[in-house]
Amino acid sequence: MTHEFKNILETYLLAKEQATRAVLATVVALEGSSYRKPGVRMLLLENGTMIGAVSGGCVEKDIARQSEAVFHEDKPRMMTYDGRYRLGCEGILYILLEPFRPDETCVSKLQECFLLRNEFELKSTFMMQEGNAAGLGTSVMIQGQSYLLNPTLQPSEELKSFVEVMPPCFKLMIFGAEHDAVQLCQFAAGTGWEVTVISGPLESKSFENFPGATAFYSVSPDQVALEQIDDQTAVMVMSHNFANDLKFLLELKETKPAYLGLLGPAHRREKLLDQLLEYCPELSQEFIDSIHGPAGLNIGAETPQEIAISILSEVLSTVREKTPIPLKKKKGGIHA
């Protein structure tokens, strides 16, 4: 959910320029089941704008109504939402509403975390009943230092705490710039992923051809910066050029992304791996086994858009360590 919090911060900074106040809503506890889980957040602006959602859409109206008291009093408060008779989720949500006013130091440290891909923690203190209380609110822990999302917060050890570790935003690196790469970029950006596109220096595509992309580089394979490939990064090799894909794989051989996909049929993958082993006979079996090729799940995808869905589905199932099955065949809760 790091990308959601990043979006909240960016929205707040724009609102601050217009002297528009903001309230942060955080689901801090849950009894029963719900559309989304504790840790989900949304931002409400004084002008009525809402960024994000904490449910399928039913809870937000009540949150907007109760946030009016927070805007008026400038004090955090707890609210509960019993969905057992109004939603299909059959749960009770405990939601913390608080003025969102991080100071410049807090904002700077958070932006640094996003840029350097460092994790941080969010700690919300709350109570299991509606109303106000001293100590309600959220703080940010960055490298052992605590910063307040509302500088007026007086931390309390008497209240309950919800702590969430926020890893770096999930990132997708696409090696290739053909039409299917454009579709994959758009779909991935729509999920909130940061997308970097690496195009060959002779390609005609540019940053403008990839809506939603965070970065675009037109470079040769040996010029690609791979230092920030981590366990929150997926890599997709799909240049449609055999020589370029081989060069990209040679550069990637020392990396350990969360997912490494290769576009194309099985016989092309085998040919690429044979060539790869000729150049690097010492290549580890671990790296070879980590390659998902042909990339994607078998859902009958044919169009570039469907192929993008297939690939993203496999990335998610790999990262979340789930075996894809129809939910109607899954025993227990959907998110269990």
Average pLDDT of the residues in 256-273: 95
Q: Please tell me the predicted confidence (pLDDT) of residue 134.
A: 83
Q: Please tell me the predicted confidence (pLDDT) of residue 203.
A: 77
Same domain, 131 and 190: no
In a domain, 266, yes or no: yes
* Local confidence band at 56 (pLDDT 50, 70, 90 cut-offs): low
Q: Please tell me the predicted confidence (pLDDT) of residue 212.
A: 93
pLDDT at position 86 over 60: no
> Which residues neighbour 2 within 8 Å (Cβ) at sequence distance 6 or greater?
166, 167, 168, 169, 170
Same domain, 176 and 315: yes
In a domain, 335, yes or no: no
In a domain, 326, yes or no: no
Same domain, 150 and 188: no
Q: Which of 166, 157, 78 is nearest to 121 (CA)?
A: 166
Same domain, 201 and 71: no
- Residue range of the domain that includes 216: 171-319
Same domain, 198 and 309: yes
Average pLDDT of the residues in 134-140: 92
In a domain, 327, yes or no: no
**Tokens coding 243:** 């020589």
Same domain, 193 and 255: yes
Tens of pLDDT, residues 7-16: 999 999 999 9
Q: Please tell me the predicted confidence (pLDDT) of residue 49.
A: 92
Same domain, 203 and 292: yes
In a domain, 1, yes or no: no
Specify the pTM.
0.85
HSE on the CB side for 248, CA within 13 Å? 26
Query: Which domain-ending residue is among 100, 131, 166?
Result: 166
Same domain, 155 and 208: no
Q: Please tell me the predicted confidence (pLDDT) of residue 247.
A: 92
In a domain, 334, yes or no: no
* Local confidence band at 1 (pLDDT 50, 70, 90 cut-offs): confident
Measured distance CA(29)–CA(160) in Å, rounded: 10
Residue 56's CB is within 10 A of a number of other CB atoms, namely 14
pLDDT at position 265 over 90: yes
* Local confidence band at 41 (pLDDT 50, 70, 90 cut-offs): very high
β-bridge mates for residue 125, sequence order: 137, 161
Query: Which domain-ending residue is among 139, 166, 193?
Result: 166
In a domain, 126, yes or no: yes
Looking at the 3D structure of the chain, how many domains does it have? 2
In a domain, 330, yes or no: no
Average pLDDT of the residues in 284-296: 93
Same domain, 37 and 142: yes
The per-residue pLDDT of the chain, averaged, comes to: 90
> Which residues neighbour 122 within 8 Å (Cβ) at sequence distance 6 or greater?
5, 39, 138, 139, 140, 141, 163, 164, 166
Same domain, 161 and 208: no
Query: Which domain-ending residue is among 126, 149, 166?
Result: 166
Same domain, 145 and 183: no
Same domain, 152 and 198: no
Question: 259-262 and 291-292 as β-strands: parallel, antiparallel, unpaired?
Answer: parallel
Q: Which CATH number covers residue 307? A: 3.40.50.720
* Local confidence band at 81 (pLDDT 50, 70, 90 cut-offs): confident
Q: Please tell me the predicted confidence (pLDDT) of residue 219.
A: 85
